[in-house]
Structure 1
Protein backbone atom coordinates (compact mmCIF):
# COMPACT_ATOMS: atom_id res chain seq x y z
CA UNK A 1 0.00 0.00 0.00
CA UNK A 2 2.79 2.43 0.83
CA UNK A 3 4.30 1.85 -2.62
CA UNK A 4 1.02 2.85 -4.27
CA UNK A 5 0.65 5.80 -1.91
CA UNK A 6 4.12 7.05 -2.87
CA UNK A 7 3.23 6.68 -6.54
CA UNK A 8 -0.13 8.42 -6.20
CA UNK A 9 0.89 11.74 -7.87
CA UNK A 10 2.44 9.86 -10.80
CA UNK A 11 -0.61 7.61 -11.19
CA UNK A 12 -2.98 10.58 -11.10
CA UNK A 13 -0.75 12.49 -13.52
CA UNK A 14 -0.97 9.57 -15.94
CA UNK A 15 -4.70 9.11 -15.48
CA UNK A 16 -5.61 12.78 -15.94
CA UNK A 17 -3.34 13.08 -18.98
CA UNK A 18 -5.01 10.12 -20.67
CA UNK A 19 -8.52 11.23 -19.69
CA UNK A 20 -7.96 14.80 -20.88
CA UNK A 21 -6.30 13.60 -24.07
CA UNK A 22 -9.38 11.55 -24.94
CA UNK A 23 -11.49 14.73 -25.13
CA UNK A 24 -9.06 17.52 -25.96
CA UNK A 25 -11.76 20.11 -26.62
CA UNK A 26 -13.37 19.73 -23.19
CA UNK A 27 -9.94 19.57 -21.55
CA UNK A 28 -8.95 22.79 -23.33
CA UNK A 29 -12.10 24.58 -22.15
CA UNK A 30 -11.57 23.41 -18.56
CA UNK A 31 -7.87 24.30 -18.58
CA UNK A 32 -8.57 27.75 -20.01
CA UNK A 33 -11.15 28.37 -17.29
CA UNK A 34 -8.92 27.37 -14.38
CA UNK A 35 -5.37 27.92 -15.64
CA UNK A 36 -5.78 31.06 -17.71
CA UNK A 37 -6.02 32.08 -21.34
CA UNK A 38 -3.44 31.43 -24.02
CA UNK A 39 -3.46 27.65 -23.65
CA UNK A 40 -3.34 25.64 -26.85
CA UNK A 41 -5.66 22.60 -27.07
CA UNK A 42 -2.65 20.26 -27.34
CA UNK A 43 -1.23 21.69 -24.10
CA UNK A 44 -4.35 21.12 -22.00
CA UNK A 45 -3.79 17.45 -21.07
CA UNK A 46 -0.30 17.89 -19.65
CA UNK A 47 -1.17 21.16 -17.91
CA UNK A 48 -4.18 19.60 -16.19
CA UNK A 49 -2.15 16.50 -15.30
CA UNK A 50 0.56 18.71 -13.80
CA UNK A 51 -1.94 20.68 -11.72
CA UNK A 52 -3.46 17.46 -10.36
CA UNK A 53 -0.01 16.03 -9.53
CA UNK A 54 0.82 19.16 -7.53
CA UNK A 55 -2.48 18.96 -5.64
CA UNK A 56 -1.95 15.22 -5.03
CA UNK A 57 1.46 15.87 -3.49
CA UNK A 58 -0.03 18.49 -1.16
CA UNK A 59 -2.71 15.93 -0.32
CA UNK A 60 -0.04 13.34 0.53
CA UNK A 61 1.67 15.77 2.89
CA UNK A 62 -1.62 16.64 4.61
CA UNK A 63 -2.63 12.97 4.98
CA UNK A 64 0.71 11.90 6.43
CA UNK A 65 0.76 14.87 8.82
CA UNK A 66 -2.78 14.20 10.08
CA UNK A 67 -2.00 10.53 10.65
CA UNK A 68 1.54 10.70 12.06
CA UNK A 69 2.21 14.36 12.91
CA UNK A 70 5.47 13.91 11.04
CA UNK A 71 6.33 14.07 7.32
CA UNK A 72 9.26 12.23 5.76
CA UNK A 73 11.93 14.46 4.24
CA UNK A 74 11.57 12.81 0.87
CA UNK A 75 7.94 13.92 0.69
CA UNK A 76 8.96 17.50 1.42
CA UNK A 77 11.65 17.31 -1.26
CA UNK A 78 9.14 15.90 -3.76
CA UNK A 79 6.72 18.70 -2.92
CA UNK A 80 9.33 21.42 -3.39
CA UNK A 81 10.50 20.03 -6.73
CA UNK A 82 7.04 19.50 -8.19
CA UNK A 83 5.92 22.96 -7.06
CA UNK A 84 8.98 24.52 -8.71
CA UNK A 85 8.92 22.56 -11.97
CA UNK A 86 5.18 21.99 -12.14
CA UNK A 87 4.47 25.59 -11.17
CA UNK A 88 6.77 26.82 -13.95
CA UNK A 89 4.93 24.55 -16.41
CA UNK A 90 1.58 26.06 -15.39
CA UNK A 91 2.78 29.67 -15.35
CA UNK A 92 4.58 29.56 -18.70
CA UNK A 93 2.34 26.91 -20.31
CA UNK A 94 5.50 25.01 -21.16
CA UNK A 95 5.69 21.22 -20.54
CA UNK A 96 9.50 21.29 -20.71
CA UNK A 97 9.68 22.12 -17.01
CA UNK A 98 7.58 19.16 -15.83
CA UNK A 99 9.55 16.86 -18.14
CA UNK A 100 12.72 17.87 -16.29
CA UNK A 101 11.14 17.29 -12.88
CA UNK A 102 11.89 13.52 -12.63
CA UNK A 103 15.49 14.13 -13.72
CA UNK A 104 15.93 16.85 -11.10
CA UNK A 105 14.59 14.53 -8.41
CA UNK A 106 16.73 11.57 -9.54
CA UNK A 107 19.89 13.65 -9.71
CA UNK A 108 19.19 15.21 -6.32
CA UNK A 109 18.90 11.72 -4.80
CA UNK A 110 22.15 10.70 -6.51
CA UNK A 111 23.97 13.80 -5.27
CA UNK A 112 22.76 13.30 -1.69
CA UNK A 113 23.87 9.65 -1.65
CA UNK A 114 27.27 10.40 -3.19
CA UNK A 115 28.09 13.54 -1.21
CA UNK A 116 26.95 12.02 2.10
CA UNK A 117 29.39 9.15 1.56
CA UNK A 118 32.31 11.13 0.10
CA UNK A 119 32.13 14.32 2.16
CA UNK A 120 30.51 13.29 5.43
CA UNK A 121 31.40 9.59 5.53
CA UNK A 122 27.75 8.59 5.94
CA UNK A 123 26.26 5.72 3.98
CA UNK A 124 22.57 6.61 3.75
CA UNK A 125 21.55 3.28 2.21
CA UNK A 126 23.15 1.47 5.13
CA UNK A 127 21.43 3.79 7.58
CA UNK A 128 18.04 2.98 6.05
CA UNK A 129 18.50 -0.78 5.72
CA UNK A 130 20.93 -2.05 8.36
CA UNK A 131 18.13 -2.66 10.86
CA UNK A 132 16.73 -5.26 8.44
CA UNK A 133 19.89 -6.82 7.00
CA UNK A 134 23.52 -7.17 8.03
CA UNK A 135 26.22 -6.87 5.36
CA UNK A 136 29.99 -6.42 5.20
CA UNK A 137 31.20 -2.82 4.99
CA UNK A 138 32.44 -3.00 1.36
CA UNK A 139 29.05 -4.36 0.25
CA UNK A 140 27.28 -1.40 1.86
CA UNK A 141 29.63 0.93 -0.01
CA UNK A 142 28.93 -0.77 -3.34
CA UNK A 143 25.21 -0.68 -2.61
CA UNK A 144 25.27 3.05 -1.94
CA UNK A 145 27.29 3.65 -5.11
CA UNK A 146 24.94 1.46 -7.15
CA UNK A 147 21.90 3.47 -6.04
CA UNK A 148 23.63 6.77 -6.83
CA UNK A 149 24.64 5.52 -10.29
CA UNK A 150 21.12 4.18 -10.90
CA UNK A 151 19.56 7.56 -10.12
CA UNK A 152 22.04 9.33 -12.41
CA UNK A 153 21.19 6.97 -15.27
CA UNK A 154 17.45 7.28 -14.63
CA UNK A 155 17.76 11.04 -14.87
CA UNK A 156 19.60 10.79 -18.18
CA UNK A 157 17.10 8.25 -19.53
CA UNK A 158 14.16 10.46 -18.58
CA UNK A 159 15.56 13.39 -20.57
CA UNK A 160 16.43 11.14 -23.50
CA UNK A 161 12.85 9.84 -23.71
CA UNK A 162 11.39 13.34 -23.20
CA UNK A 163 13.37 14.83 -26.09
CA UNK A 164 13.50 11.84 -28.43
CA UNK A 165 9.91 10.66 -28.38
CA UNK A 166 6.39 12.06 -28.27
CA UNK A 167 4.89 13.59 -25.16
CA UNK A 168 2.53 10.65 -24.78
CA UNK A 169 5.44 8.20 -24.93
CA UNK A 170 7.19 10.16 -22.20
CA UNK A 171 4.07 10.09 -20.01
CA UNK A 172 3.84 6.31 -20.47
CA UNK A 173 7.54 5.94 -19.64
CA UNK A 174 7.18 8.14 -16.57
CA UNK A 175 4.85 5.61 -14.99
CA UNK A 176 5.54 2.20 -16.50
CA UNK A 177 9.16 2.63 -17.58
CA UNK A 178 10.30 4.23 -14.35
CA UNK A 179 8.42 1.75 -12.18
CA UNK A 180 9.60 -1.22 -14.24
CA UNK A 181 13.26 -0.20 -14.17
CA UNK A 182 13.10 0.46 -10.45
CA UNK A 183 11.58 -2.97 -9.84
CA UNK A 184 14.20 -4.66 -12.03
CA UNK A 185 16.99 -2.84 -10.21
CA UNK A 186 15.65 -3.80 -6.78
CA UNK A 187 15.27 -7.45 -7.83
CA UNK A 188 18.80 -7.48 -9.23
CA UNK A 189 20.11 -6.09 -5.98
CA UNK A 190 18.18 -8.71 -4.07
CA UNK A 191 19.97 -11.49 -5.95
CA UNK A 192 23.33 -9.79 -5.39
CA UNK A 193 22.76 -9.25 -1.67
CA UNK A 194 21.47 -12.78 -1.09
CA UNK A 195 24.91 -14.18 -1.90
CA UNK A 196 26.55 -12.06 0.77
CA UNK A 197 23.85 -12.83 3.32
CA UNK A 198 24.44 -16.54 2.77
CA UNK A 199 28.23 -16.22 2.90
CA UNK A 200 28.38 -13.83 5.85
CA UNK A 201 25.22 -14.33 7.86
CA UNK A 202 26.71 -12.94 11.09
CA UNK A 203 28.38 -9.83 9.67
Structure 2
Protein backbone atom coordinates (compact mmCIF):
# COMPACT_ATOMS: atom_id res chain seq x y z
CA UNK A 1 0.00 0.00 0.00
CA UNK A 2 1.48 3.34 -1.08
CA UNK A 3 1.19 6.10 1.52
CA UNK A 4 -1.18 8.94 0.65
CA UNK A 5 0.38 12.29 -0.29
CA UNK A 6 -0.80 13.87 2.99
CA UNK A 7 0.82 11.05 4.98
CA UNK A 8 4.07 11.52 3.04
CA UNK A 9 4.06 15.27 3.68
CA UNK A 10 3.25 14.75 7.35
CA UNK A 11 6.04 12.20 7.58
CA UNK A 12 8.50 14.71 6.19
CA UNK A 13 7.71 17.32 8.82
CA UNK A 14 6.66 15.28 11.83
CA UNK A 15 8.88 12.27 11.25
CA UNK A 16 11.76 12.32 13.66
CA UNK A 17 9.89 14.50 16.13
CA UNK A 18 9.43 11.79 18.77
CA UNK A 19 13.18 11.06 18.94
CA UNK A 20 13.86 14.79 19.34
CA UNK A 21 11.30 15.10 22.15
CA UNK A 22 12.66 11.99 23.89
CA UNK A 23 16.25 13.19 23.54
CA UNK A 24 15.41 16.66 24.83
CA UNK A 25 13.42 15.55 27.87
CA UNK A 26 15.76 12.76 28.93
CA UNK A 27 18.90 14.83 28.29
CA UNK A 28 17.57 17.66 30.44
CA UNK A 29 16.90 15.44 33.48
CA UNK A 30 19.39 12.58 33.12
CA UNK A 31 22.24 13.76 30.91
CA UNK A 32 23.51 13.45 27.38
CA UNK A 33 24.12 9.68 27.15
CA UNK A 34 20.64 8.62 28.40
CA UNK A 35 19.14 11.33 26.14
CA UNK A 36 20.98 9.97 23.10
CA UNK A 37 19.93 6.42 23.88
CA UNK A 38 16.29 7.51 24.30
CA UNK A 39 16.37 9.47 21.03
CA UNK A 40 17.89 6.53 19.17
CA UNK A 41 15.36 4.07 20.63
CA UNK A 42 12.49 6.31 19.51
CA UNK A 43 14.10 6.69 16.05
CA UNK A 44 14.28 2.92 15.70
CA UNK A 45 10.74 2.72 17.08
CA UNK A 46 9.46 5.00 14.29
CA UNK A 47 10.94 2.66 11.69
CA UNK A 48 9.43 -0.41 13.36
CA UNK A 49 6.04 1.30 13.82
CA UNK A 50 5.86 2.37 10.18
CA UNK A 51 6.83 -1.12 9.05
CA UNK A 52 4.15 -2.64 11.30
CA UNK A 53 1.49 -0.08 10.40
CA UNK A 54 2.05 0.21 6.62
CA UNK A 55 4.05 -2.97 5.87
CA UNK A 56 6.61 -0.65 4.29
CA UNK A 57 8.97 2.08 5.49
CA UNK A 58 9.06 5.31 3.47
CA UNK A 59 12.44 6.39 2.11
CA UNK A 60 12.31 9.63 4.09
CA UNK A 61 11.86 7.62 7.30
CA UNK A 62 14.84 5.40 6.45
CA UNK A 63 17.02 8.37 5.59
CA UNK A 64 16.00 10.60 8.53
CA UNK A 65 16.06 7.93 11.20
CA UNK A 66 19.07 6.20 9.64
CA UNK A 67 20.99 9.47 9.94
CA UNK A 68 19.65 9.95 13.45
CA UNK A 69 20.87 6.49 14.47
CA UNK A 70 24.25 6.95 12.79
CA UNK A 71 24.84 10.43 14.20
CA UNK A 72 23.52 9.24 17.57
CA UNK A 73 26.13 6.47 17.56
CA UNK A 74 28.87 9.00 16.78
CA UNK A 75 27.53 11.17 19.61
CA UNK A 76 27.61 8.20 21.99
CA UNK A 77 31.22 7.43 21.07
CA UNK A 78 32.27 11.06 21.47
CA UNK A 79 29.95 11.68 24.46
CA UNK A 80 28.75 14.87 22.74
CA UNK A 81 25.18 15.43 21.59
CA UNK A 82 26.22 17.79 18.80
CA UNK A 83 26.26 15.07 16.13
CA UNK A 84 22.73 14.00 17.01
CA UNK A 85 21.62 17.63 16.92
CA UNK A 86 23.11 18.16 13.46
CA UNK A 87 20.73 15.65 11.84
CA UNK A 88 18.00 18.22 11.01
CA UNK A 89 20.56 20.61 9.50
CA UNK A 90 22.05 17.85 7.35
CA UNK A 91 18.60 16.70 6.19
CA UNK A 92 17.53 20.24 5.29
CA UNK A 93 20.83 20.97 3.53
CA UNK A 94 20.55 17.74 1.55
CA UNK A 95 16.97 18.58 0.60
CA UNK A 96 18.08 22.01 -0.67
CA UNK A 97 20.77 20.35 -2.82
CA UNK A 98 18.28 17.79 -4.18
CA UNK A 99 15.82 20.58 -5.06
CA UNK A 100 18.50 22.55 -6.89
CA UNK A 101 19.87 19.40 -8.54
CA UNK A 102 16.41 18.65 -9.92
CA UNK A 103 16.54 22.00 -11.70
CA UNK A 104 19.87 21.13 -13.29
CA UNK A 105 18.33 17.98 -14.80
CA UNK A 106 15.31 20.07 -15.90
CA UNK A 107 12.82 18.09 -13.81
CA UNK A 108 11.78 20.21 -10.80
CA UNK A 109 11.42 17.90 -7.81
CA UNK A 110 8.09 19.44 -6.78
CA UNK A 111 6.59 18.62 -10.20
CA UNK A 112 8.05 15.11 -10.11
CA UNK A 113 6.66 14.42 -6.62
CA UNK A 114 3.21 15.69 -7.59
CA UNK A 115 3.19 13.55 -10.74
CA UNK A 116 4.22 10.50 -8.69
CA UNK A 117 1.05 11.05 -6.64
CA UNK A 118 -1.05 11.25 -9.82
CA UNK A 119 -1.49 15.03 -9.76
CA UNK A 120 -1.18 17.19 -12.84
CA UNK A 121 -0.51 20.92 -12.86
CA UNK A 122 -2.09 23.29 -15.37
CA UNK A 123 0.58 24.55 -17.76
CA UNK A 124 0.48 28.05 -16.28
CA UNK A 125 1.45 26.65 -12.86
CA UNK A 126 3.88 24.06 -14.23
CA UNK A 127 5.82 26.84 -15.96
CA UNK A 128 6.35 28.54 -12.58
CA UNK A 129 7.47 25.42 -10.70
CA UNK A 130 11.18 25.86 -11.48
CA UNK A 131 11.18 29.19 -9.64
CA UNK A 132 9.21 27.75 -6.74
CA UNK A 133 11.58 24.78 -6.56
CA UNK A 134 14.61 27.10 -6.50
CA UNK A 135 13.10 29.29 -3.77
CA UNK A 136 12.12 26.24 -1.74
CA UNK A 137 15.75 25.14 -1.97
CA UNK A 138 16.79 28.57 -0.69
CA UNK A 139 14.32 28.22 2.19
CA UNK A 140 15.79 24.87 3.21
CA UNK A 141 19.37 26.10 2.81
CA UNK A 142 18.69 29.07 5.09
CA UNK A 143 16.94 26.80 7.58
CA UNK A 144 19.89 24.37 7.46
CA UNK A 145 22.25 27.20 8.43
CA UNK A 146 19.89 28.22 11.25
CA UNK A 147 19.60 24.58 12.41
CA UNK A 148 23.40 24.27 12.43
CA UNK A 149 23.68 27.41 14.54
CA UNK A 150 20.98 26.06 16.86
CA UNK A 151 22.81 22.73 17.22
CA UNK A 152 26.10 24.45 18.02
CA UNK A 153 24.99 27.39 20.17
CA UNK A 154 21.41 27.04 21.41
CA UNK A 155 20.09 25.10 24.38
CA UNK A 156 18.73 21.63 23.65
CA UNK A 157 15.17 22.83 24.33
CA UNK A 158 15.45 25.75 21.90
CA UNK A 159 17.08 23.49 19.32
CA UNK A 160 14.17 21.04 19.66
CA UNK A 161 11.64 23.86 19.27
CA UNK A 162 13.33 24.95 16.05
CA UNK A 163 13.38 21.37 14.76
CA UNK A 164 9.72 20.73 15.52
CA UNK A 165 7.69 23.88 15.67
CA UNK A 166 10.06 26.31 13.97
CA UNK A 167 10.51 24.38 10.73
CA UNK A 168 6.84 23.49 10.45
CA UNK A 169 5.47 26.99 11.11
CA UNK A 170 8.05 28.77 8.95
CA UNK A 171 7.49 26.34 6.06
CA UNK A 172 3.71 26.74 6.25
CA UNK A 173 4.13 30.53 6.16
CA UNK A 174 6.50 30.21 3.21
CA UNK A 175 4.00 28.00 1.34
CA UNK A 176 1.17 30.46 2.01
CA UNK A 177 3.28 33.28 0.52
CA UNK A 178 4.13 31.14 -2.53
CA UNK A 179 0.45 30.21 -2.98
CA UNK A 180 -0.69 33.84 -2.77
CA UNK A 181 1.95 34.95 -5.30
CA UNK A 182 1.12 32.06 -7.64
CA UNK A 183 -2.60 32.82 -7.41
CA UNK A 184 -1.96 36.46 -8.32
CA UNK A 185 0.09 35.43 -11.35
CA UNK A 186 -2.58 32.98 -12.52
CA UNK A 187 -5.40 35.50 -12.07
CA UNK A 188 -3.38 38.20 -13.88
CA UNK A 189 -2.62 35.93 -16.85
CA UNK A 190 -6.24 34.76 -17.09
CA UNK A 191 -7.48 38.37 -17.16
CA UNK A 192 -5.14 39.29 -20.03
Shorter-chain TM-score: which interval? Answer: 0.7 to 0.9
Q: State whether residues 13 and 49 of structure 1, in contact with CA within 8 Å, keep that contact through their aligned partners in structure 2.
A: no
Number of the residue aligned with 1:180: 169
Q: Which runs of 5+ in 2 are unaligned?
A: 1-5
Q: Over aligned residue pairs, what C-alpha RMSD do you find?
A: 2.7
Q: Which residue of 2 aligns with 1:124?
A: 109
* 1:115-145 deviation per Cα after TM superposition (whole angstroms, max 9, x unaligned): 1221x32211111235164343431101111
Inter-partner Cα distance in structure 1 for 2:38 and 2:184? 43
Q: 1:51 to 1:133 in 2, by over 3 A?
A: farther
Query: Quick one: structure 1 residues 132 and 56, their matched pair in 2 at CA, closer, same or farther if it must change by over 3 Å?
Result: farther
Q: Cα deviations across residues 141-195 of structure 1 (Å, max 9, x unaligned)?
A: 0111111111111110112233343333223322222222122222222222323
* Structure of higher CA gyration radius: 1
Shift of 1:200: 6.0
Gaps in structure 1 of 5+ consecutive residues: 28-43
1:78 matched residue in structure 2:
64
The range that moved more, 176-185 or 46-55, is 46-55
Q: How many residues align?
A: 179
Matched, 1:143 2:150: no
Q: Does 1:58 align with 2:47?
A: no
* Change in CA separation of 1:189 and 1:47 when aligned onto 2, cut-off 3 Å: farther
TM-score, with structure 1 as normaliser: 0.73
